[in-house]
Structure 1
């Protein structure tokens, strides 16, 4: 029996008082994996960890979001490694919630013997504190009764591919790998086996056990890259009760001070603020980068092959995130991302796929080759498990519209763009004016070959239109006559070749030539047309498109992005409904005047959130969360739909 599996089931070496047979513990694959939705997220603006409702941390990469994993039993219950704390007796109820207005997660477990809660948080690394190392703190509090608990920490470095050694410390243990070491300090005595540390301990009512896991990079360069201060001496340890309380209070204070910047006071404050806190968790503060999700390999279909690595910065996702944060008054995050983006603009070259890549690593690298982690079985057998993402080599013309629209909004609501940034944008626009009428893979990153996508044309129109607006508003230099002519040409092409007069709908792909009707393939991305000011929301063409999408892509207000049987995407298997499309649906209904229907759709979408208000990329037909979790794309769309529906309701 592998140690990773023992961690997932609380091995009998730390559970001697409540031994069960292996068959009782459950050897079936599904029993070894929590549902994706049964997790909360904690983080320190460098990386993040998923904490299950049963007290296990089964996903954690360190020191950055895109670093190799430390715990990954979410992708392989036997080999991935995890950190579990739970009562050794039968748990009748698991509850989980966030400490109000923070990203501190509290997991409560109710048993016949009493109630215990595990408080999980990652103190924020502040630039003014050069001695603060990255840490993950777990505070176990016995609320009622007398509890016997088990703890096992089973790190598996480098996606479970690297063997580490154990070293005892006076107050804990050190796990030493090639590029990373982890130091676990504990307020209780630990026992060691070949690879893990574990303990069984008693807590009386009101007593506390403390665990403090610190990241120790192998080099100062790695620490600086992660935005972590060098190890220059002793630091206050969270296994000291006063120090732990101080860290807890400082973390509470950070999140509440940050959230007080929000200008949103609408009807759905709790859900909107939770989404904002989630977007902030997905921000890499040292660089300003915003990752699409903190996970990799979570399947879009259980047992299927649509399993991708989302721990990178998609230009599209980050631009939409910028829009959501600006709408709520979070200008500092917007400034951070614009600074990160300015470096990408300066580095832009006229490459094979264009001056900008679809995605980048946190520090701006654009070489992200896919690698299959063949030793991992995948979540509930969903394989292959991939790290890296070959979509970075795709041409997706829509990113230029999303990028320039976000800069337009920053120029309008933020600090304004610099001369250098404007010059860079003009050069990128020059490239786009030459290539907008080209094929690409577009927003859904299909792998079935390039097409002339309507959505990409729409966003090319947005790119040119927003450049014209900025030039006129700020008196910035530009060839407005030529830009205007190109904008109008794109507009007319969408209206003539992206519109199917037979079905009276805008479609996924343009017709192959003028005067010939396109294929009647619906795509939920065209719901954005009025949101980007391309068309009036009450234009008959858009209204009939909304009706068609309602008939063919919407199921109880859950929206599929398209029908793969009509538009093969080069991938095997099926997928769930796309949560971002479901929130676009809410906003489209609100803009077309169907305000009550939009409100009902939004309230229904809220019921699909997990217990702490988080969303994966997709929702399955039975309400299960699918895909990487939580996803920035979904939470930014929630914010946008709520704000616009509030406005429509008055």
Structure 2
């Protein structure tokens, strides 16, 4: 892995690991600080928000007073249990962070931090200062026996239990103590109403958590040359799934910028139909079919909340499948690297994005092919949805990138409408399900003809992102991936070369050129999009440009943080931008690795859509 530069922020986006319990997640920086944590759910208000402001917005720091120590992070193999280590002339220390799996919906999440000194002796300092409600509440600390409670009006009471005396400084619990080689301590943070939040020996809990992750990881079927990176991506995707609801969040965070100092700062703690469907696709490809079954059940609840009306199907839903995601600015937060406004919620849920029907139908098709058969009522809802697509595919929309300008006719939306009908026809034939074949097939043919007639620019000699346009868009890379066009078709290869010339820089792919996209009215630029970069690799591999694909893939792997995690975007130097870890990036890595592996081994992938 590459060395990270220092920036003007205390803890860069890429200098974090993530822990979670399938209900929520926390980010742990390489200096031992938890500076981002939403509690009790992933989409609940944050209680540690220093990543988006300053330490006064809430942190849980734990570190030896070794200013010159080398710091490193690693996961215990095949788990989401994170170790942060300090290596100094005075000794070696480490903190092991994890969250026990939250299998009981009535239990609240807790963080367990086990500190140990392996060599030498160290003076440690602990500071735990949560601030409720996105750092808006007046949180107070008070002693509760050997623990410290944190309370605010109208907010749940939190507790820190420790094996050393805790003191209160301001509104934080602090401790300063010495540990020698062979000594260890545990700290437990969670709800004051949870009797498990107590100082003591949590060895059994640690063992159960370790075994859970290793058992889950062992169920995967990828054994190729990039096993470590693929497994880490799968584990990251799993952390973003809700054990209770079956939804899959787009990312663990909100408000992290796509452009430093700019306003492209969105909340990704929701389940996008598109991203979640892609995630299911990637997990099924690795052999994890249980997540697909849970996701389809979550979709059924979303349809119920949308009154089973296809025109009311939203781009995204809350993790519990509810529909309302009002957008709000948090002006009291200064933002990561001064990037404001910091937003929670996401108004994109009100947009019309026709591509979501294709991504959802592709996931339903694959879930039926490799998992449980669709129910009778489920097929009735699908039939209604496909009828809606047949009637409305020729409409303008906001597109995959959720443009906040005027709706346009996007190629990707057309493509995915074609995918929706195509996969429905395939599923009906495979399961002998009733369908209006002639009407659906006629619409599928009409969409194909529309794409070739209105999105192919004869003068430029390639497809374009919009109807009768000239601009390019990285979402076009999905055309061969969804088997609309052959990966070696000369017309597609000309389009691939055009994308390479216009949007690719040293293997990093931009979504689009802002100057060519009037539907994007926001000021400022953005970084290269990580998922698109992996789509590009897969397109190269499918086009039999294996040497180029292999080299670009290895370069992309070098842009991961030292733990193998990716945010949404890269800046021009390859450093992380945007919300993290992002599901779309990790699932695209899995897809590219899976296909490239088989091609390098001399054969087509055995797993086909």
Could you state the TM-score of these two structures normalised by the residue count of structure 2? 0.95
Q: Distance in 2 between matches of 1:176 and 1:522?
A: 52
Q: Which range moved further: 556-565 or 309-318?
A: 556-565
Q: Distance in 1 between matches of 2:110 and 2:136?
A: 23
Q: Distance in 2 between matches of 1:238 and 1:167?
A: 16
Match of 2:151 among 170, 173, 176: 176
Q: Retained in 1: the 8 A contact 2:36–2:50?
A: yes
Query: Are residues 1:117 and 2:94 paired?
Result: yes
Query: Are residues 1:561 and 2:536 paired?
Result: no
Match of 1:632 among 568, 583, 592: 583
Q: Distance in 2 between matches of 1:215 and 1:48?
A: 15
1:349, CA displacement in angstroms?
4.1
Q: Retained in 2: the 8 A contact 1:33–1:379?
A: no
Could you tell me which residue of structure 1 aligns to residue 392 of structure 2?
435
Could you tell me which residue of structure 1 aligns to residue 200 of structure 2?
240
Could you tell me which residue of structure 1 aligns to residue 164 of structure 2?
188
Q: Distance in 1 between matches of 2:155 and 2:390?
A: 46
Could you tell me which residue of structure 2 aligns to residue 546 of structure 1?
496
1:188/1:31 Cα in 2 relative to 1: closer, same or farther (>3 Å)? farther
Match of 1:590 among 541, 554, 561: 541
Could you tell me which residue of structure 2 aligns to residue 519 of structure 1?
469
Match of 1:307 among 265, 268, 277: 265
1:345, CA displacement in angstroms?
2.2
Could you tell me which residue of structure 1 aligns to residue 300 of structure 2?
342
| Per-residue deviation, residues 276-323 of structure 1 (Å, max 9, x unmatched) | 000000011100110000100100011011000000000000000000
1:269, CA displacement in angstroms?
0.5
| Partner SS, residue 35 of structure 1 | coil
Query: Are residues 1:101 and 2:78 paired?
Result: yes
1:216, CA displacement in angstroms?
4.8
Q: Which range moved further: 590-599 or 399-408?
A: 590-599
Q: Retained in 1: the 8 A contact 2:8–2:337?
A: no
Aligned residues: 594
Q: Retained in 1: the 8 A contact 2:127–2:175?
A: yes
Q: Retained in 1: the 8 A contact 2:58–2:129?
A: yes
Could you tell me which residue of structure 1 aligns to residue 176 of structure 2?
200
Match of 1:487 among 438, 444, 454: 444
Q: Which range moved further: 451-460 or 171-180?
A: 171-180
For structure 2, the residue ranges without an aligned partner over 5 or more in a row are 1-5, 602-609
- Pairing of 1:25-40 with structure 2 (within 5 A): 31-40=8-17
Flag as ranges the 4+ runs of structure 1 deviating above 6 A: none
Q: Distance in 1 between matches of 2:180 and 2:142?
A: 30
Q: Retained in 2: the 8 A contact 1:52–1:58?
A: yes
Q: Retained in 1: the 8 A contact 2:240–2:250?
A: yes
Give the superposed CA RMSD.
1.5
Could you tell me which residue of structure 2 aligns to residue 389 of structure 1?
346
1:30, CA displacement in angstroms?
5.4
Q: Retained in 1: the 8 A contact 2:142–2:168?
A: no
Q: Distance in 2 between matches of 1:348 and 1:331?
A: 26
Q: Retained in 2: the 8 A contact 1:137–1:238?
A: no
- Pairing of 1:212-227 with structure 2 (within 5 A): 212-216=188-192
Could you tell me which residue of structure 2 aligns to residue 456 of structure 1?
413
Q: Distance in 2 between matches of 1:434 and 1:334?
A: 28
1:457, CA displacement in angstroms?
0.3
Could you tell me which residue of structure 2 aligns to residue 614 of structure 1?
565
Q: Distance in 2 between matches of 1:347 and 1:188?
A: 49
- Pairing of 1:308-457 with structure 2 (within 5 A): 308-349=266-307, 354-457=311-414
Could you tell me which residue of structure 2 aligns to residue 154 of structure 1?
129
For structure 1, the residue ranges without an aligned partner over 5 or more in a row are 1-28, 218-230, 511-517
Query: Are residues 1:126 and 2:103 paired?
Result: yes
Match of 1:577 among 510, 528, 553: 528
1:164, CA displacement in angstroms?
2.2
Q: Distance in 2 between matches of 1:400 and 1:79?
A: 44
Query: Are residues 1:81 and 2:55 paired?
Result: no
Query: Are residues 1:537 and 2:487 paired?
Result: yes
Q: Distance in 2 between matches of 1:300 and 1:586?
A: 22
1:524, CA displacement in angstroms?
1.1
Could you tell me which residue of structure 2 aligns to residue 10 of structure 1?
none
Q: Retained in 1: the 8 A contact 2:43–2:270?
A: yes
1:238, CA displacement in angstroms?
6.0
Q: Retained in 2: the 8 A contact 1:79–1:376?
A: no
Could you state the TM-score of these two structures normalised by the residue count of structure 1? 0.89
Q: Retained in 2: the 8 A contact 1:91–1:109?
A: no
Match of 1:63 among 40, 64, 79: 40
Could you tell me which residue of structure 2 aligns to residue 45 of structure 1?
22
| Partner SS, residue 397 of structure 2 | coil
Q: Retained in 1: the 8 A contact 2:36–2:59?
A: yes
1:239, CA displacement in angstroms?
2.7
1:126, CA displacement in angstroms?
2.5
Q: Retained in 1: the 8 A contact 2:9–2:336?
A: no
Q: Retained in 2: the 8 A contact 1:238–1:247?
A: no
| Partner SS, residue 49 of structure 1 | strand
1:366, CA displacement in angstroms?
1.6
1:341/1:200 Cα in 2 relative to 1: closer, same or farther (>3 Å)? same
Q: Which range moved further: 167-176 or 405-414?
A: 167-176
Q: Distance in 1 between matches of 2:459 and 2:482?
A: 25
Could you tell me which residue of structure 2 aligns to residue 266 of structure 1?
224
Q: Distance in 2 between matches of 1:238 and 1:468?
A: 56
Q: Distance in 2 between matches of 1:598 and 1:30?
A: 31
1:456, CA displacement in angstroms?
0.0
Q: Distance in 2 between matches of 1:313 and 1:67?
A: 14
| Partner SS, residue 367 of structure 2 | helix
1:78, CA displacement in angstroms?
4.5
Q: Distance in 2 between matches of 1:590 and 1:414?
A: 28
Could you tell me which residue of structure 2 aligns to residue 499 of structure 1?
456
1:115, CA displacement in angstroms?
1.5
Q: Distance in 2 between matches of 1:216 and 1:254?
A: 26
| Per-residue deviation, residues 413-455 of structure 1 (Å, max 9, x unmatched) | 1112111111011111122221111010010001121000010
Q: Which range moved further: 357-366 or 271-280?
A: 357-366
| Per-residue deviation, residues 89-123 of structure 1 (Å, max 9, x unmatched) | 32321100001110001000123321111111001
